Amino acid sequence: MAWLRSVAWSQLADDLTFNVHLLLLLVHSRAGIRFFPISWREDGQVSNVRLVRQAWRTIGIAWGYFWRRGDYLAQAHVPTVDGAYGSRLLAKNG
């Protein structure tokens, strides 16, 4: 949790490429990464993802990171960075 407070993850893309940006940010900041499998099933659902377009976007992200490293991650990848994603505390534990 301390790592999440220290990085600007709210400027990452808010679309299907969020996980790609987050992984690059984790690797770039040398954060500890642990893998644990999660089982997932989608029965009877149809995906609206256009696989070729999504693959090209992912390749573009990797290419941008490869050439610009930290500069690429420092730029905002979300269309609105003006704090449009507000939050409020509903309950506090303890």
Check if the beta carbon of residue 48 is closer than 8 Å to that of residue 55.
Answer: no
Alpha-carbon gap, residue 24 to 45, rounded angstroms: 29
Global pTM value: 0.68
| pLDDT tens digits along 25-69 | 888 888 888 888 988 877 777 777 888 999 999 999 999 889 988
- Could you give the 3-state DSSP secondary structure of residue 34? coil
Token couple for 39: 């089982």
Query: Is 3's pLDDT higher than 60?
Result: yes
Check if the beta carbon of residue 24 is closer than 8 Å to that of residue 65.
Answer: yes
